[in-house]
Amino acid sequence: MSTAVKDTHVGVRSRRQGQFGQVMHRLRKNKVAMIGLVVLVLLILMAILSPYITPYDYAKTSKANRYALPSWEHPFGCDAMGRDILSRIMYGARASLWLGLMSTLVATVIGVLLGSLVGYYGGKVDNIVMRILDIIQAIPGMLLSIAISAALGSGIGNTILALSIGGIPMTVRLLRGSILTVRKQEYIEAAEKINCSKWRVITSHILPNSIAPVIVSVTMGIGNTILQAASLSYIGLGVQPPTPEWGAMLSEGKSMLTKYPHLCIFPGLAIMIVVLCLNMLGDGLRDAMDPKLKN
Amino acid sequence: MKKFLSLVLALIMVLSMASFASAEQGASVVVGLAGDPGNIGPFQGMGLGRIGILFTTYEMLMVKDGDSFRGCLMKELTPVDDLTYDVELYDYIVDQAGNKLTASDIKFCFESAKATGNLPKLASVESVEVISDYVARFHFTALAAGDLESLLMECPIVTQAAFEASADQMATDPITTSPYQVVDYKTGSTITYKRNENYWQKDELLPTTSKHNVDEITFKIIPDPVQMVNALKAKEIDISAAIDGSYISDFMGVEGFDVTQIPDNTTKFLVFNFDSIPNAAERQAIAYAVDVEDIIAFAFDGIGYHAKTIGNTKYPDFVPAWSDEEYYEYDEEKAQSLFDEAGVAAGKTYRLLYNVADDNTKIVTTIQAALMDFGINVELIGYDNALFGTYKYDDKKSGEWDIMLDEAGSSNLLTNVWKLSLDRRDQTYGKTIGHVLDDQLQTLIEAAINDNTPENMDAFHQYLKEQCYEYGLVSKVNNLAHTTVVTKAATCFRGQILPGACEY
Amino acid sequence: MIRYIGKRLLWMIPVMLGIAVLIFSIMYICPGDPASSLLGPSATAVELAAKREEMGLNDPYIVRLGRYLYQTFIKFDLGTSYKFGTSVFAGLMERMQYTLVIALLCMALQVFVGTPLGIMAATHHNGVWDRVSMFLALVGVSIPAFWLALMLVLIFAVNLGWLPTSGVSNGLASFILPCIANSFAGIASQARHTRSSMLEVIRSDYIVTAKAKGLSQKTVLFKHALPNALIPIITIVGNGMGMMLGGTVIIENVFAIPGVGRYMTDAINSRDYPVVMGGVLILGLIFSLIMLLVDIVYAFVDPRIKAQYEGRKGKK
């Protein structure tokens, strides 16, 4: 008996790996997605290596270079304190990518777990979880962040918590909506009839058919998350100057937008590239996971 | 019937033409306001948005006209004894609804204002007694130097009849004695005033704050600094005192615009935490190490000046000799030797608490860079306005900072700037906000507050400077830009625009 | 279905209570001092402490919570704003008129521009049209709203002088730029979601069958594909509407619009407790109602979901 149970587990595991392999295989064939992935990996590498490769010290101020326009010495120009914007963007990738990607990941994982739970079980579980989300979503994000900072203190973990908490309800709602449409379809009921474990029904039958809206929403949301990180530094979370961070660079340049637009344009472009890459990757991932496209 | 109608129409047309003609003479002005005044009722606290509309909306017993005080509603001030004064009103004051203003209204206003707790300075007004129709007797509990005038200016005056007729305690529709009456208030957006044709005061007796050179005034609330610039460029507003320094070149010497620079009444300064920096040499070293000219260049686009004390030179009790004194001008060698004397070595870290608003981030970044030249790190702890306002007075938080960037100003005297942070009687924990418990400092500040003679002022200033418990950085300058519709801009002592007193 | 709706409406009561207790507790633990924004920067620490005492802010948690709940749920009084001196409910409703105009206009733009864009992209999957519109959509979501807003102002208000730079005193003209700037991200997200869910449906068996049966492209698209792709779109629209009625701070700040977002943010920043707590409660109620509406619309669009709602009722 025990061996039989073990066997099915092994079976499940290997089949799941097979499925994962298939997804990866299809993803690898998708050129657009691969470009997105490569650029993203390059950005992450740049972030990791930035202490060694930035052309200037990101914190070095200079009266002579205030608002310097892009030039050969300073390809992206200099900011209000005469600091090199290129170096700040390169170094700023550390905080921005780390905060942006991590909090998106955390929000997605929690959101998908909760969403599958309420979508699959429905009924009381659905009602209670969704009503709790109604309550949480009613609280303005800024207040939640201040409360987190006041109650739990500063630190990178709490910053990620503050950034991710706002993204969870949307993920849950999207997933719940899609699961509701597939929940009673024949193939799900068939899978349940042949005694598939609930976990397996959710992961291999329900999620692949309902995850698409979540991928779209999550990959588009990362830009906002990076921007939001800037406002957290005022309430004891996030990063403090002079450590650069893209969202803070944008908001610093905001008052100079019409006079010295390069202060805003380059950090803005950096954020846009991340959003673009993540979306290219997300589209590819969605296509690769779509069971209807299996071939 | 038709004839009658056409007659009415013709009349309306003529009337509207007439009003249009008067409008053409530049009879209305739009003022761009950065802060939202919120409740414009008389007995509110002096929040930041309120100071912009205060003198257009209300009149007080006394006002500050230029550098000196003079009566506005008050005709005569007669001392009875040290703590008792008789205030005689003009006997022909009427408000916009036609109510006569008498001494009983003065009593009503001061008592109501005191009861709200919004104007805490009024606590030293013990009572107001009605002597006759136009004479009110003020009993004070204590009067420090300059208190009398500022107390008589503190409380806006309205008639009791008008106040009681208002449904919302004048929060949106004040009826006052001012030459301008609020005719429309869209909260968060615009406040429009019309000139009161039956204004009570004779032209030759008008203080600047009560002048009324224009028919209609609109305050437009524009919170975004770039949009303030855009609105002025598009000539949607005529004047604004909140133009960002770096945009001044867009208006200075440009056809159709003019710029006036007026000193702000606030000064930025550093507070050292005595608990963590008890050594005077160390505090002095930091003061010498910071190049204020750099701060002015980075944070204020070169517009501003190095403070000479905690406060600017505009106050009447500022001692002129200080302007020529040495006040921790940037000196790398002195700073280094003082750091050595105090035993501060490279690698030391200071935690700098600041309010993430306006130019403060640039100031602290400049300080950070300056101390970096000595190998000293500065860890910045920035908070938004609400959190900073709480933490700076919070005894429990004082263990979390070594240096604090603060800002202060007062409506009348330098001593009132000093007392905010340096008089331990004004703190909840019996020390200055820099946690100094120095009896000599306290004796000197009390002497200066009670009697602000140049000797007393100088004694305190010199002692503070020597001990360097606090260090004045920059006195700000406001940029007031306007279209040429306004030929001469007028401001109150807080640097706020007085649209009625501007010339057109 | 009616019973389901009734049950959900009853659930609003605990939800409202939950929001009230949570927001009260958050405001309680959030540092920050309402007295300091009331008295202004020239008040000393001692004067501030006296004002706090007078405002009852030094009372114990449970006393203040009880007072707040009693006032809100028994007396139905949301209190008076510290800053404006007017009733929170009236203040909120005054601001809501502007926010409502913006929210409705933006939603209309989002739905009527975003959806067709998404459908076009999906039906021309991987074609030029698909690539161009999706790239534009990505640019749309990643441009910061203030950036777009200020650029629009620079072009249409400062340089061309066609529209006002800010404010609400020019009628509908005041809302044109804010709505364009605000709806850009919404249109983009709507287009991407529509495309994504249309793609899912177009690839499914029954659409392939319908196409094979020789039904016209249009019939297949609007009769068969679109209804099945609607669920995520409804979620996005519902959520977006709920969010937008809470105000759009960035746009309201840039365009100096006295909307709900600025009212609430200013209140949070100055710790205007009655406004924050009352506003959150009302906005929470509106949001919950919209979410209920979304669930009802789900049932109308998809009979299977309706069956699930009713099935639960049967089980009980």
Is a pLDDT exceeding 60 seen at residue B22? no
Task: Give me the residues paired with residue C39 across strands.
Answer: none
pLDDT tens profile A189-228? 787 777 778 888 888 788 888 888 898 888 888 888 888 8
Which residue of C144, C298, C315 is in closest CB contact with A180? C298
Cα–Cα distance list, B262 to B221, B373, B397, B489 (Å)? 21, 34, 36, 10
Residues B280, B223: Cα–Cα separation, whole Å: 42
Tell if the CB–CB gap between A216 and C193 is shorter than 8 Å: yes
Q: Which chains touch C (3 or more CB pairs under 8 A)?
A: A, B
**Chain A partners within 8 Å of C22 (Cβ):** 135-136, 139
Q: Write down the number of H helices and E strands in chain B.
A: 14, 17
A178 touches chain C (CB under 8 A): yes
DSSP state of C197: H
Q: Do C33 and C48 contact (CB within 8 A), yes or no?
A: yes
What does the alpha-carbon distance between residue A62 and residue C76 come to, in Å, rounded to a whole number?
Answer: 59
Model confidence pLDDT, tens digit, residues C128-155: 888 888 888 888 887 888 888 888 888 8
Binary contact (A180, C302; C-beta < 8 A): yes
Token pair 């052309």 is found at A55
Question: Which residues of chain B lie closer than 8 angstroms to C147, CB-CB?
Answer: none
A220: closest chain C residue by CA: C141
A137 close contact with B: CB closer than 8 A: no
Pick A184's closest partner by Cβ from C11, C264, C304: C304
- Residue from B236, B404, B425, B445 to probe the interface with C (highest C Cβ count within 10 Å): B236
Interchain CB distance below 8 Å, A213 and C31: no
Helices A246-253 and A262-289: crossing angle in degrees, nearest 10, is 140
A–C interface: beta-carbon pairs under 8 A: 160
Contact residues for B234 (Cβ-Cβ < 8 A; gap 6+): C157, C158, C161, C164, C165
Contact status, residue B161 vs residue B81, Cβ threshold 8 Å: no
DSSP E strand stretches across B251-402: 257-272, 305-306, 349-355, 377-383
Q: Where do the DSSP E strands lie in B294-436?
A: 305-306, 349-355, 377-383, 403-409
Q: What six digits make up the tokens of B373?
A: 């030249």
pLDDT digit string, tens, across residues A71-106 = 888 999 998 888 999 999 999 999 999 999 999 999
Q: Quick one: pLDDT band at residue C311, thresholds 50, 70, 90?
A: low
Mean pLDDT of A237-261: 85
Compare all CA atoms of chain A with the CA of C188 and give the residue at the minimum distance: A220
- CA-CA distance, C61 to C77, in Å (whole number)? 20
Nearest-by-CA chain A residue for C208: A292
The answer to whether the CB atoms of B38 and C49 lie below 8 A apart is no
The CA distance from C95 to C98, in Å, is 6
Q: Quick one: residue C133, left, alpha or beta (phi over 0 = left, psi -120 to 50 = alpha)?
A: alpha
Average pLDDT over residues B432-440: 89
Cα separation, C249 vs C266, in Å, equals 10
Closest partner residue to B393 (CB to CB) among C45, C84, C270 is: C45
Contact at CB, B382 and A233, closer than 8 angstroms: yes
- The DSSP bridge partners found for residue B139 are B84, B127
Dist CA C199 CA C193 (whole Å): 10
CB-based contact (8 Å) between A293 and chain C? yes
- For B139-161, what is the mean pLDDT? 88
Q: Under an 8 A CB cutoff, do C256 and B233 touch? A: no
pLDDT of B23 above 70: no
CA distance C181 to C102: 11
Q: Which chains touch B (3+ CB pairs under 8 A)?
A: A, C
Whether pLDDT at A295 is above 50: no
DSSP for A194-240 reads TT--HHHIIIIIIHHHH-HHHHHHHHHHHHHHHHHHHHHTTBT-S--
Q: Is A257 on the interface with B (CB under 8 A)?
A: yes
**For B187, which residue in chain C has the nearest alpha carbon?**
C258
For the stretch B44-60, pLDDT in tens is 888 778 888 999 999 99
Distance of alpha carbon B23 from alpha carbon A60, whole angstroms: 54
Residues 120-139 (C) with a CB less than 8 A from some CB of A: 138-139
> What is the Cα–Cα distance from C36 to B48, expressed in whole angstroms?
11
Could B383 and A81 be called an inter-chain contact, meaning their C-beta atoms sit closer than 8 Å? no
Q: What is the least distance, in Å, from the CA of C45 to any CA of chain A?
A: 22
Contact C40 B220 (CB under 8 A): no
Predicted pLDDT at A150: 84
What does the pLDDT average to over C83-101?
89
Residue B24 has pLDDT above 50, yes or no: no
One-letter amino acid of B5: L
Closest by Cα among B302, B300, B322 to B472: B322
Contacts with A, C 64-83, CB within 8 Å:
none
Q: Say how far apart CA A241 and CA A292 lie, in whole Å.
A: 49
Give the minimum alpha-carbon distance from B300 to chain A in angstroms, rounded to a whole number.
11
Mean pLDDT of C34-40: 83
- pLDDT for position A257: 82
- Find chain B residues with C-beta within 8 A of C49's C-beta: 428
Decide if pLDDT at C202 tops 50.
yes
Q: Using one digit for the tens of pLDDT, what is the confidence trace for B300-322?
A: 888 888 999 998 888 888 999 99
Dist. CA B482–CA B238, nearest whole Å: 5
Which whole number is the average pLDDT over C78-99?
A: 88
Q: What is the ipTM of this complex?
A: 0.84
Range from B121-125, B420-424, C110-114, C205-209 carrying the lowest mean pLDDT: C205-209
Of the candidates B167, B169, B149, which has an alpha carbon nearest to the alpha carbon of residue B158? Answer: B169
Distance from CA of C229 to the nearest CA of A (A): 9
Check if A205 contacts C (Cβ < 8 Å).
Answer: no
Chain A contact for C268, CB < 8 A? yes
Min distance C40 CA to chain A CA atoms (Å)? 20
Q: Among partner residues C32, C193, C315, which is closest to A213 by beta-carbon distance?
A: C193
Average pLDDT (C203-227) is 75
**What string of H, E and C letters represents the secondary structure of C107-138?**
HHHHHHHHHHHHHHHHHCCCCHHHHHHHHHHH
Which residue do the tokens 């009849």 mark?
B161
**CB A80 to CB B366 under 8 A?**
no
Q: Using CB atoms, which residue from A131, A150, A216 is nearest to C31?
A: A150
pLDDT of residue A3: 39
pLDDT value at residue B21: 37
Check CB contact under 8 Å for C189 and A220: yes
Report the alpha-carbon distance of residue C207 to residue B445 in Å, rounded.
86
DSSP per-residue codes, A161-201: HHHHHTTHHHHHHHHHHHHHHHHTSHHHHHHHHTT--HHHI
| The pLDDT of residue B259 is above 70 | yes
Indicate whether C38 pLDDT > 60.
yes
Alpha-carbon span A252 to A268, nearest angstrom: 12
Q: For chain B, what is the mean pLDDT? A: 87
pLDDT higher at C302 or B99 = B99
Residue at B374: amino acid letter: F
| pLDDT band, residue A292 (cuts 50/70/90) | low
Instruction: Among B387, B388, B394, B479, pick the best mutation site for testing chain A contact (most A Cβ within 10 A).
Output: B387
- Note the pLDDT tens digit of each residue in B153-206: 989 999 999 999 988 889 888 999 999 999 999 888 999 999 988 898 888 888
Contact yes or no for A235 and B387 at CB 8 A: yes
Q: Is the pLDDT of residue C221 over 80?
A: no
Q: How confident is the model at residue B358 (pLDDT cuts 50, 70, 90)?
A: low
Q: Residues A162, A144: contact at Cβ < 8 Å?
A: yes
Q: How far is C172 from chain A (nearest CA, A)?
A: 26
With a cut of 80, say whether residue C206 has pLDDT above it.
no
Rounded CA separation A250/A259 (Å):
14
Mean pLDDT of C188-198: 87
- DSSP conformational letter for B468: T
The region that residue A214 occupies, defined by phi over 0 for left and psi between -120 and 50 for alpha, beta otherwise, is alpha
pLDDT at B231: 92
Contact A63 B365 (CB under 8 A): no
The interface residues of chain A toward chain C in range 269-288, judged by CB-CB distance below 8 A, are: 271-272, 275-276, 279, 286
A220: which chain C residues are within 8 Å (Cβ-Cβ)? 138, 141, 188-189, 192
Average pLDDT in chain A:
84
Q: List the alpha helices (DSSP H) in chain C.
A: 2-29, 34-39, 45-54, 61-69, 88-109, 115-123, 128-142, 145-152, 173-202, 205-212, 217-219, 226-245, 249-254, 260-269, 273-301, 303-315
Read off the pLDDT band of A17 (50, 70, 90). Answer: low
Measured in angstroms, the CA of B242 and the nearest CA of chain C are apart by: 15
Whether pLDDT at B74 is above 50: yes
- pLDDT-derived band at B250 (thresholds 50, 70, 90) equals confident
Q: Which two tokens stand for residue A100?
A: 């942006």
> HEC string of B84-152?
EEEEEECCCCECCCCCECCHHHHHHHHHHHHHHCCCHHHHHEEEEEEEECCEEEEEECCCCCCHHHHHH
Which of residues C226 and B486 earns the better pLDDT score? B486
- CA B54 from chain centre, in angstroms, equals 11
pLDDT bracket for residue A12 (50, 70, 90): very low
Residue B440 CB burial class (10 angstroms; 0-12, 13-18, ≥19): exposed
Q: Which residues of B touch A56 (CB under 8 A)?
A: none
Give the model confidence (pLDDT) of C244-263 as tens digits. 888 788 899 889 999 999 99
Burial class (CB in 10 A: 0-12, 13-18, 19+), B429: middle
Q: Do A181 and C203 touch (CB under 8 A)?
A: no
Contact B227 C254 (CB under 8 A): yes
Q: What is the pLDDT of residue A105?
A: 92
Q: Which of A249, A267, A263 is nearest to A69 (CA)?
A: A263
A79 at interface of B, judged by CB pairs closer than 8 A: no
Q: Please answer yes or no on whether B297 and A63 come within 8 Å at the CB atom.
A: yes
A52 burial level (CB within 10 Å; 0-12, 13-18, 19+)? exposed
Average pLDDT over residues C167-195: 87
Question: Chain B interface, mutation test: which of A58, A61, A154, A233, most B Cβ atoms within 10 Å?
Answer: A61
